[in-house]
Amino acid sequence: MTTGSRFETRPSANDAPARTPTITIAGKEWPVPQLAPRQNRIVVPALLDVLPKIAQAQARIKGSNEGGSLARLGSHLDTACYDRLTDIAFHALTRAHPDLKREAFDDMPVDTAELYSALSTIAHQAGLLRQTKSAD
């Protein structure tokens, strides 16, 4: 019987999925395994906050015939929304990179397009979106 209060939290190689999804941040591919409660307590509320704002901005752009570039989308979002995007990305990265410091992340040359592109993968890894299995 185990008497310690700690247990192994890192999955073994046998437990790992065949391929861990990645996101591109600062031009580098970063693995994003399934998130744990440590990350989800920040990531899930932030996603639930920012995704409707992005959808509203996309609708405003579509309704105004501005076109759909990320630059136009970014012009409809405020600083608080951008901060939430960086919170989402940073905390998602800490699952596979627990030693990553926020100060180091904040100094990375991160493209806004990279933050937007990462949202779907992060939402999947947070359990907010489920992949559908295709019928063979």
Predicted confidence (pLDDT) per residue in 52-96, tens digit: 988 888 787 777 766 556 666 666 678 999 999 999 999 999 999
Of all residues in the chain, what percent carry a pLDDT higher than 90? 57
Which residues have a Cβ under 8 Å from the Cβ of 17 and sit 6 or more positions away? 33, 34
Could you give the CA distance from residue 110 to residue 105 in angstroms, rounded to a whole number?
A: 9
Q: Cα-flanking dihedrals φ and ψ of residue 109, to 5°?
A: -80, 80
Q: Give pLDDT, residue 60.
A: 78
Output 42 or 17, whichever has higher pLDDT.
42
Q: Give pLDDT, residue 13.
A: 42
End-to-end CA, the chain: 44
Task: Name the pLDDT band for 6 (thresholds 50, 70, 90).
Answer: very low
Task: Name the pLDDT band for 41 (thresholds 50, 70, 90).
Answer: very high
Section 16-26 average pLDDT: 84
Using the predicted structure, report yes or no on whether residue 32 has a pLDDT greater than 50: yes
